[in-house]
Amino acid sequence: MTEFYAEKIETALQSYMSDHPATLTRQDAISTILENWFASHGYLPPQQEGLRPEDLDASNDD
């Protein structure tokens, strides 16, 4: 990565951390950003409560 991009990314990361004060560390911010990006682009399933479709049957039909 070039110094120009590294500087832009670092600036964006600092802005993100300022906007999300619950993000305690730089590592937390990076992890959250990557998790959100991967989930929104289909690389991670969205975090949902409940059973997977293959685990549904008449015994848990509410």
pTM of the model: 0.65
- Note the pLDDT tens digit of each residue in 15-54: 999 999 998 899 999 999 999 999 889 888 766 666 677 7
For residue 62, pLDDT beyond 70? no
Q: At what angle do helices 3-19 and 26-40 cross, to 10 degrees?
A: 90
Contact yes or no for 25/31 (Cβ under 8 A) = no
